[in-house]
Structure 1
Amino acid sequence: MAENIHPIFDQTLSRTSKEELLRQRALVIWMVGLSGSGKSTLAKGLEFALHQRGHLTQLLDGDNLRSGINNNLGFSETDRMENIRRSAEAAKLFLSAGVVTICSLISPTSEIRNLAKSIIGESNYYEVYINAPFEVCAQRDVKGLYKKALNGEIKNFTGLDAPFEEPQNPHLEIRTYQDNYEVSLQKLLDAILPRITFAALG
């Protein structure tokens, strides 16, 4: 089947042309962290703040993706890898359209994050570690998942019986167990805005 596939990537309108139209520089902001760390809350806040400033964005949230294009995947190691592969490929499509793309996914291992980075491209991938310890996330338990996991009702729960490897060299780390929402969002904005302003295009 592969010999019958003929990609036309080199024949389509360039990303640069789309960035010029949108007056922004595209970027994939890959937000990682435990469930309940604040990823989705900050991702929504970032999208709203960028929209207010005239930027075209797309938010790819892990739960949204798992209810749509990834709804046939479970939480085995293989399925987690496929979840990230598909999500990264979707992000890459928005990137090529000149869109600032915000991805909010747990992305629990270095291998998984490296897969996303390899698909998106290192220069287009901006990793943000939303840091909150397991105990803090369990106390928040925004979705009621920690209670179920600790009661044995959910298997392969990240941070409990499935690994979470802290990013060693993220572009940005936000400690939501120390900073409140407003401070965390401002740190995120301060880091992202210079990277997506049209004047930064080379």
Structure 2
Amino acid sequence: MNESSFISVHSSHIRPYALSLSPSARAALKHQQPCCLWLTGLSGAGKSTLANALELQLNEQGRHTFVLDGDNVRNGLCNDLGMGAAARKENIRRISEVARLMVDAGLIVIVSAISPFQADRASARALFRTDEFLEVYVSTPFDICARRDPKGLYQAALQGRIKDFTGLDSPYEAPQQADCEINTDEVELADAVQHVLTVLLKK
């Protein structure tokens, strides 16, 4: 029996256990409405910086939060995945499911991940109620990101030392209907944080 057959047979015997403590009860204990803020954009766009600043601001307000940063997740949960299209899809699927569990735990979860494909972001959104998910497009242009190049990835990709690099030899599908858009080359960090939080409150 091959691995795919084993997974199929095994999955047919899984019966999720109905827990007595509801997500709403967990949220009530924390005195907040849990949700997922999903930050998408190119490498170097400023997603991690914005996610960190958002968490600090929410923490100052007494909110219970957690940041799922793409690089941090790839260092642990997803360290078995490559950078091809199928691996990227699985990477986002895992992040989405973890975010869903954290929202069920009553947390405000901030996801910072390139998440280049529209279909994968749509699958992530589908895990949540409309009022639980906010897509933030960090729309900083490619040339600005390449100029920043905080990790030296653009230089390596342009020299051919990195393959399947998003925005270069692997596509980035920009959101068509993001809940919020931030170009970090044009907006100061403090203003970006306030803009995202304002949109979140309205939603």
Counterparts in 2 of 1:4-83, with a 5 A limit? 4-8=13-17, 10-83=18-91
Q: Which amino acid aligns with 1:19?
A: A
Aligned to 2:165: 157
Q: Give TM-score, length-normalised by structure 1.
A: 0.92
**1:82-93 alignment to 2 at 5 Å?**
82-93=90-101
Alpha-carbon RMSD across the aligned residues, in angstroms, is 1.3
Aligned-pair identity in percent equals 43
Alignment match of 1:2 (pick from 11, 29, 34)? 11
What residue number does 2:6 align with?
none
CA contact (8 A) 1:91 1:120 kept: no
Amino acid corresponding to residue 4 of structure 1 in structure 2: H
Unaligned residue ranges in structure 2 (runs of 5+): 1-9
TM-score, length of structure 2 as denominator length: 0.91
Query: Residues 140 and 91 of structure 1: is their aligned pair in 2 closer, same or farther, counting only changes over 3 Å?
Result: same
CA-CA distance at 1:181 after TM superposition? 1.5
In structure 2, the residue corresponding to 1:49 is in which secondary structure?
Answer: helix
Runs of 5+ consecutive residues of structure 1 not aligned to the other structure: 196-202
- Conservation of the 8 A alpha-carbon contact between 1:131 and 1:177: no
1:12/1:84 CA distance change after superposition, 3 Å:
farther
Post-superposition, which runs of at least 4 consecutive aligned residues in structure 1 deviate over 4 A?
none
Render the CA deviation track for 1:153-182: whole Å, top value 9, x for unaligned: 100000000001110100000111211222
Report the Cα offset of residue 190 of structure 1. Answer: 2.0
User: Per-residue displacement from partner, 1:101-120 (whole Å, max 9, x unpaired)?
Assistant: 00000011111111211233
